Structure 1
Amino acid sequence: MAETGPGALTAEHVGQQTIARSFHLTPRLIMAYAASIKDSNPRFFDDLSGPLTAHPFLAFTFQWATRFSPQIPPNPRAAPYGVHAATDLRLARSMVENDLITMQGQLMSTRAIRPGVINLSRYTMTDAAGTTVGVLDQTGITRGATLEGEPKALADLPDVPMNPAPAGAEPLWQRQIGITPDAGQIYTECADIYNPIHTERRVAKAAGLPDVILHGSATQAIACSAIVDGCLGGAVEQVRRFVGALRAMVVLGSTITVRCLADNEVSGGRDIYFDVLNADGEPAVAGGYIRATV
């Protein structure tokens, strides 16, 4: 009888690195990512006004292309049970047109939690001079897996400032955004991030999903854009950190609601807290936080 479920995982690969790849930030690349989430901010498109600024979540295009560790044997049994659980993107500066960005990832920790086994992968971005431009921490969970042996950690996630707004407080503002039936296909091709559960109904249904769902990184990127527009007047170059945990699914052809929960001036910038609800009122992104410079 064939074994079912993801099986047991170990922490033996903590410390292993992914392949490294370099990306030239051309207008085509910058505009394509903005188009993937239908963000028409002139900073992504108006190349007559100076060098274009890249959306912070272009980092996920780089991450998708550099996620492979060919020295580690593949685990096809566990792979279908893996989900993107949380993001912590930290930028030393905005990425701009003509940058040459090199990204490489490293598995930083593996441990057991109630839903399965959680991994923290850290992707570092450097420019042509070797200076760090940003760090993308991606947390993933292998649902239903068990951990064989001891957990291992080289680093943890940095702390996030606490939201000062009381629980249940009315949002400062909220914005409803339509997720069109073709949003998964557009994001797939423009962001160059392909997983058929986001484009093909038969694959999504076979995976036990209610229907085709939007990429988690797309949901977070749309939320980032909404906060940039609503709180920063479109000044995406001010974003220095984005934090968000992915929870409920967003089905294509539905709506999401981005809610700004708090917006506070702090030394050198602003702390903005938000969440995202799906069409059923469930939290699609929880614990949302953006640090912006001034």
Structure 2
Amino acid sequence: MTTDTEPSELRIQAEVGRYTIAKTFEVTARSITAFAGGVNDFNPVYFEDDRPGGLIAHPGMVFSWQWNSRFTPDLEYPLELVRRGVHAWVDVQFERHAREGDVITSQGQSVAVKQVRPGVLSAQRFAFRDSQGGTVAIMDTGGITRGAELDGEEIELASAPPLPQRSSDNGDLVWSTTFAIDPQAPHVYTECADIWNPIHTERKVALAAGLPDIILHGSANILIALREVINRNLDGDPTRLRRFAGQFRGMVIPGKDVTVNALEARDEGDREVIFYEMRNHLGELAIANGVVIAS
């Protein structure tokens, strides 16, 4: 719940442990094909619904489930703090991949608050479970409320396991690809993923928020990069994906080019680790410190 009353001070209580609403989603051929189409990911595993075992859910569907179960209606949150919030990072781990016919319940919990130089960092953990209670995936994600101060001590109930680090930074690329983002991409993704924020689709709102134009969703950016990694490094097989992570940085403007770079690919025997990034048309990082772990 939000309130129009602006706080006299931009302070955030040092509280964690609160749960979001739980919401349940049926994984259907319609939802899978729509989501994959929303990020121009035309891998046959998301579209050929006559294949044995049915369709594999696009791994990015966790963003749709998370977005639609993020609400805490029993918590009043000043609109001024909402306006100052920016999505900072995401880290998703898969126990298995959802498939057509699965029923997935999503619920989040606030797990950490910390004071950082730009403001207050808040972290949430979302669990995605099937109808038998089995864990399908875990998403650790967080954002920063710019200019805010933490009222109380820093708290951390849980955090994602450490990510692998690059072994070198010599500037050599494994591969690089540049392509244009369709002008209508934010509108298509909004409807196909059921993730709506008017800064992505309504220019008047974007300009009022200080943006140069509508911008593509951060989750769409990371999934477009992930599409390239899966197709180029995992033989187009998303079921090999065990974990992906990245930090949200600069803006991607519809109609402009983006570049996805694979910075390093490492075979560690029982797993493959790929480090990637996305840059916008100005060469600025849109997705930084990207990591994919696969079988």
TM-score normalized by the length of structure 1: 0.95
1:5 and 1:145 in contact (8 A); partners too: no
Where does residue 221 of structure 1 map in the other structure? 223
- Find the aligned partners of 1:6 and 1:103 in 2 and give their Cα distance: 33
1:179 and 1:252 in contact (8 A); partners too: yes
Give deviations 1:135-168, integer Å, cap 9, x for gaps: 011111111111122121111232001111x224
Q: 1:3 to 1:99 in 2, by over 3 A?
A: closer
Counterpart check, 1:66 vs 2:73: no
2:6 and 2:78 in contact (8 A); partners too: no
1:6 and 1:77 in contact (8 A); partners too: no
Where does residue 99 of structure 2 map in the other structure? 96
Aligned pair partner of 1:155 in 154, 158, 162: 158
- Find the aligned partners of 1:109 and 1:174 in 2 and give their Cα distance: 36
- Find the aligned partners of 1:264 and 1:187 in 2 and give their Cα distance: 32
Counterpart check, 1:87 vs 2:112: no
Where does residue 241 of structure 1 map in the other structure? 243
Letter in 2 for 1:10: Q
Where does residue 136 of structure 2 map in the other structure? 133
Where does residue 280 of structure 1 map in the other structure? 282
Counterpart check, 1:270 vs 2:268: no
- Find the aligned partners of 2:131 and 2:276 in 1 and give their Cα distance: 34
- Find the aligned partners of 1:244 and 1:113 in 2 and give their Cα distance: 19
Where does residue 184 of structure 2 map in the other structure? 182
Q: 1:21 to 1:4 in 2, by over 3 A?
A: closer
SS of equivalent to 1:77:
helix
Q: Measure how far apart 1:261 and its partner are.
A: 1.1
**Runs of at least 5 residues in structure 1 that lack an aligned partner in the other structure:** none
- After the TM superposition, which of the residue ranges 31-40 and 74-83 deviates more from structure 2? 74-83
1:5 and 1:144 in contact (8 A); partners too: no
Where does residue 27 of structure 1 map in the other structure? 29
SS of equivalent to 1:170:
coil
Where does residue 251 of structure 1 map in the other structure? 253
Q: 1:114 to 1:5 in 2, by over 3 A?
A: farther
What fraction of aligned residue pairs are identical, expressed as a percent?
Answer: 41
Q: Measure how far apart 1:6 and its partner are.
A: 7.8
Where does residue 110 of structure 1 map in the other structure? 113
- Find the aligned partners of 1:264 and 1:215 in 2 and give their Cα distance: 29
Q: Measure how far apart 1:61 and its partner are.
A: 0.4
Q: Measure how far apart 1:276 and its partner are.
A: 0.7
Q: CA RMSD in A?
A: 1.5
Q: Measure how far apart 1:4 and its partner are.
A: 8.5
SS of equivalent to 2:49:
coil
Q: Measure how far apart 1:267 and its partner are.
A: 3.3
SS of equivalent to 2:177:
strand
Q: 1:74 to 1:104 in 2, by over 3 A?
A: same
Moved over 3 A (4+): 2-6
Letter in 2 for 1:66: S
- Find the aligned partners of 2:177 and 2:81 in 1 and give their Cα distance: 37
Where does residue 192 of structure 1 map in the other structure? 194
Where does residue 208 of structure 1 map in the other structure? 210
Give deviations 1:44-65, integer Å, cap 9, x for gaps: 0011222111111100000011
Where does residue 79 of structure 2 map in the other structure? 76
Give deviations 1:57-112, integer Å, cap 9, x for gaps: 10000001100011211321210111111010000111111111111100000111
2:140 and 2:159 in contact (8 A); partners too: no
Q: Measure how far apart 1:265 and its partner are.
A: 1.3
TM-score normalized by the length of structure 2: 0.95
SS of equivalent to 2:21:
strand
- Find the aligned partners of 2:160 and 2:20 in 1 and give their Cα distance: 19
Letter in 2 for 1:69: T
SS of equivalent to 1:19:
coil
Give deviations 1:150-197, integer Å, cap 9, x for gaps: 121111232001111x22422110111211111110000000000000
Give deviations 1:214-244, integer Å, cap 9, x for gaps: 0000000111111001111210111110010
- Find the aligned partners of 2:114 and 2:195 in 1 and give their Cα distance: 27
